[in-house]
Amino acid sequence: MPSKAPEPRKRPGPSRCSAKGIYRPCDHTGLKTARRSRPLHLPHSLYVPVSASPPKRIAILGSTGSIGTQALEVVREQPAHFAVELLVAGRNAALLIAQAREFRPNAVVVGDESRYTEVRDALFPLGVKVYAGAKAIEQAVAMESIDLVLTAMVGFAGLRPTLAAIAAGKPIALANKETLVVAGELVTGQARAKGVNIYPVDSEHSAIFQCMAGEWDNPIEKVTLTASGGPFRGMSKAQLATVGKQQALKHPNWSMGAKVTIDSASLMNKGLEAIEAKWLFGLQPDQVDIVVHAQSIIHSLVQFRDGSLKAQLGLPSMKLPIQYALSWPRRLPTAWPRFDFARCTTFTFEQPDLEAFPNLGLALEALKRGGNAPCVLNAANEVAVEAFLQERIGFLDMSNLIAERMAKAAFIPSPDLETLEACDAETRRAAHQSLNSPAWRS
């Protein structure tokens, strides 16, 4: 079975992202400090039109998931600006094949090696190279012809491919929040060392990124991440004891994958985003606030040291932050629906209920502790969410399992990659062992 990275397809134009060397965050961010201090303020006539450049060649890791399919919608709508160079999926061979037939990438990788023959035979007539397995993913992201890597694989599995792309000097559009939750110090440190930009895709972090435009020399006082509150906003802990999977999967505002939707319902998602914000923007735990904003129009706010607040607003759609990450520093025209103030005349804000939603408190605790605590949190949460989706445990049992593992795990203040992988594996093993114990089965 092939495992060597595919040879690059020869296309005109540079092999590096044209935005390279323009983006300069201030020292308080976790992103790259580039050679030039800021984009030059040139007359419009001196700017090269976007259409004059060849399409940016994108690798999409997790192409069959929610973010991946929406990213392909963006590519479909912006063919002059983006082309697909690499598609990576886990097990959904049928959708991966359909995507490759439409977008004609140089190569595809299917993570499940048992699906290799099916994908290879389907795509052989098109000349699309096919590879399989985790190692092939890490090799493929280093293809010379890739301009930018969108990492949208779900969970801990996205960490090594992201590190491999950074090692190859590829700019990253980051949608896999677990990468920074588990290994934020490691990932941002390697990105700085390699001079690699990390562009946030999560709507909240994209909002902060957009608010920081023109503000790189102005230190952040704090950021406020907004949470919709999910389908159970306003419920008490007693009420949450009886909710089920189907209720939890009905998010009022956003269309997302199952795992992220459950995290949103439990507010774990907002806790993971707080940890991610720390590493993306170089913040201390007390510089990250969370507020419930049921309308999901304000995606985040940035407060500066003079007391000024900047917010990014927009309809709840992931396509906008995806496109912004892919096209930065330019904004491309779209035909998407626009927000109408006449239809939404009220914005509400409230503090999250940490008693009813203890997952958020557990995540904020991990943020403050640092070290391997976020890794333990993430691994236990992934096991808990899987068990809840399988209807093996109740909604509040997820918090109990996570709290148990966090209390029992040994604290490691400065873990390296191998230590984090061992911590992840041990936390998952112990969590599954707990779920199989008589106390949990009863």
Tens of pLDDT, residue by residue, the chain (442 residues): 455 555 545 443 333 333 233 233 333 333 333 333 333 333 333 333 444 689 999 999 999 999 999 999 999 999 999 999 999 999 999 999 999 999 999 999 999 999 999 999 999 999 999 999 999 999 999 999 999 999 999 888 899 999 999 999 999 999 998 899 999 999 999 999 999 999 999 999 999 999 999 998 999 999 999 999 999 999 999 999 999 999 999 888 777 788 989 999 999 999 999 999 999 999 999 999 999 999 999 999 999 999 999 999 999 999 999 999 999 999 999 999 999 999 988 999 999 999 999 999 999 999 999 999 999 999 999 999 999 999 999 999 999 999 999 999 999 999 999 999 999 999 999 999 999 988 776 5
| Residue owning tokens 């806790």 | 271
- Backbone phi, psi, residue 72, to 5°: -70, -30
Catalogue all structural domains in the chain, each as residue range(s) with its CATH number.
44-201 (3.40.50.720), 219-308+349-441 (1.10.1740.10)
How far is it, in rounded angstroms, from Cα 336 to Cα 178? Answer: 29
CB count within 10 Å of CB 308 equals: 11
How far is it, in rounded angstroms, from Cα 16 to Cα 26? Answer: 23
Is residue 227 within 8 Å of residue 243, measured between CB atoms?
A: no
Alpha helix (H) ranges present in 27-65? none
